[in-house]
Structure 1
Amino acid sequence: MKKVVLFKGASEEYERAFREHKYEAIFVEPLQFTCVNLEALSTALRGEYAGLVLTSARAAEAVARCWDPARFVAWSARRVYTVGDASAHKIKLLLGLEALGTTAGNAENLAKIIVKENAGSSKFLFPCGNLRSETLPTILQSKGISVDSLTVYETKENDNLKADLMELNGSTHDPCCMVFFSPSGCEYIHRQLQTFSNRLTNLPYFAIGNSTAHKIENLGVEIAGVAEKPRAESVIDSVQKYFASTSSGTISEQTSSDP
């Protein structure tokens, strides 16, 4: 069974999906998070907004830290947007709210959905991380939709990342590829891999989305594949397509070189 390194927190969904396709998922968390500005967030949640934008599970977790269904009952009649199934599940589980935009896949597509479904004078609350992209607020504001961005969690490198990478490199796991889930994670991992001799650097790199893929390329590393959607099945599809194409290429080269 081939082993795939997933640079994210352990996930039953990903573990199950990869196992069903005869892969073993190895999880390495490159990031750690700290909630901030929760008092300001609690105040903002009592404001008059057309909706809430939560583009990550971490943002949903931060909101949950100060969530009170009795105080925030008005949100049940407002729109909540996110970019993928995992975040939508977290929003439902922690806040009891149904999220829209789960097929968007990225911030740009989500912004287009919000613009299409809401009046130009609408105002949205956008709890987010300190490393957020400005793509979504910029698009919405260009269409007249107001966005109150509020940093509710901070991201930094996992204190155990180098030790985890060295253990992975020195173990018998022998992974076939690595999958990256965030631009910041890419940067931290790449930096640590430069500090010691390893086999991991030569593995194929896959990305959960375009922003992560662009970060990998900016670091001077070739990208092997990008998931079409931020879902386990899409990640598996990109991995399988890559190895199918490389196998075909090897066979073709061998055939053409035969006398």
Structure 2
Amino acid sequence: MHVLLLKEPKDGESGPDPYIKELESYGHTATLIPVLSFKFVSLNALKDKIFQPEIHGGLIFTSPRAVEAVKTCLLPEETRQEWETSVKNQWNKKSIYVVGKATGALVVKHLGLKPLGEETGTAEVLSRVIIEREDTSIPPLFFPCGSIKREVLPTALRDKGVPLETLTVYQTAEHPDLEKNLKNYFNKLGIPASVAFFSPSGVKFCLDVIRRLSGERLPGIKFGAIGPTTRDAMVGEGLAVGCTAEKPTAEHLAAAVAKALEKPAADLAS
């Protein structure tokens, strides 16, 4: 069956995207359509912050894009050399918090840092881990983030008195070719058996177009969510959610979608 994945291709991957590969193992054909476009901002301010580990209690990364922003700051050879010889080691003496394995892997690969929290999966769970581990007397944790970040983690930390400093390092917008790409997909392949959303932004930018293109056949699509935050956004838009990945990984999403596709539409539980 055809599965539509509303996500960006995994950065730096050779070969098939892991979500496509996992769904293929269940006998399904998956297609990626990028939903978002990103623009880095405040990189000079970001560079200043990451080269001052002594004034921060640790780092927080909740998205791969924030890691990419830091990586971009380290591109000049002299800057990278300073990072490798001294700054990186200073950060590794502190806590480097991440949400999810994908973000954690990029922190290791691109920054050489040792992440904590890869198994948390959501900002809500990570905030609880941070609160359990950190003291209110520490220097502020530094949190480079996107322009449309949710306030769950900052609010939770501040409510418990854990110092936090945020900096918007990328802006998120709808991909300029999104509607065109969706129309091309539906014209070529027809109504997908399943559509998987990967963020509340994806729901916001895609759902109206998908409803128009699907028409009366919309109820026959098995809609999947990468996690509870995305699921809640789908439910908030009145969409019946057929499955939610237990963890935000290719393996768990593929398993959830494959299981949902085995069921008649009337049997799906939100």
Task: Name whichever of 230-239 and 99-108 sits farther off.
Answer: 230-239
TM-superposition CA deviations, 1:115-149 (whole Å, max 9, x none): 11222223210000000011001111122111111
1:3 is matched with which residue? 2
1:231 to 245, 249, 262: 249
Q: Counterpart amino acid of 1:25?
A: A
1:253 is matched with which residue? none
1:128 is matched with which residue? 145
Q: Counterpart amino acid of 1:213?
A: R
Q: In percent, how many aligned pairs have the same letter?
A: 31
Q: Counterpart amino acid of 2:148?
A: L
2:198 to 169, 172, 181: 181
1:257 is matched with which residue? none
Matching of residue 36 in structure 1 with residue 45 in structure 2:
no
Q: Secondary structure at the match of 2:39?
A: strand
Alignment of structure 1 residues 1-259 onto 2, 5 Å: 2-11=1-10, 12-47=17-52, 48-67=55-74, 68-69=79-80, 70-71=82-83, 72-73=87-88, 74-122=90-138, 123-172=140-189, 174-193=191-210, 201-202=218-219, 203-246=221-264
Superposition misfits of 4+ residues, deviation over 4 angstroms: 194-200, 247-250
1:89: how far off? 1.2
Q: Counterpart amino acid of 1:103?
A: E
1:190: how far off? 1.4
CA distance in 2, matches of 1:86, 1:249: 32
CA distance in 2, matches of 1:169, 1:61: 32
The TM-score normalised by the length of structure 1 is 0.89
Q: Give the CA RMSD over aligned residues.
A: 2.1
Contact 1:169 1:200 in 2 (8 A): no
Q: Secondary structure at the match of 1:155?
A: strand
1:195: how far off? 5.5
CA distance in 1, matches of 2:192, 2:214: 16
CA distance in 2, matches of 1:154, 1:195: 28
TM-superposition CA deviations, 1:133-173 (whole Å, max 9, x none): 11001111122111111100000000100111001111136
Name structure 1 gaps, 5 residues minimum.
251-259
Q: Counterpart amino acid of 1:226?
A: T
Contact 1:169 1:198 in 2 (8 A): no
Contact 1:169 1:199 in 2 (8 A): no
The TM-score normalised by the length of structure 2 is 0.85
Count how many residue pairs are aligned between Structure 1 and Structure 2: 249
Alignment CA distance shift 1:167-1:151 (3 Å) = same
Name structure 2 gaps, 5 residues minimum.
11-16
1:228: how far off? 1.4
CA distance in 1, matches of 2:22, 2:47: 37
Q: Counterpart amino acid of 1:142?
A: D
TM-superposition CA deviations, 1:191-214 (whole Å, max 9, x none): 333555657744221111111111
CA distance in 2, matches of 1:214, 1:61: 27
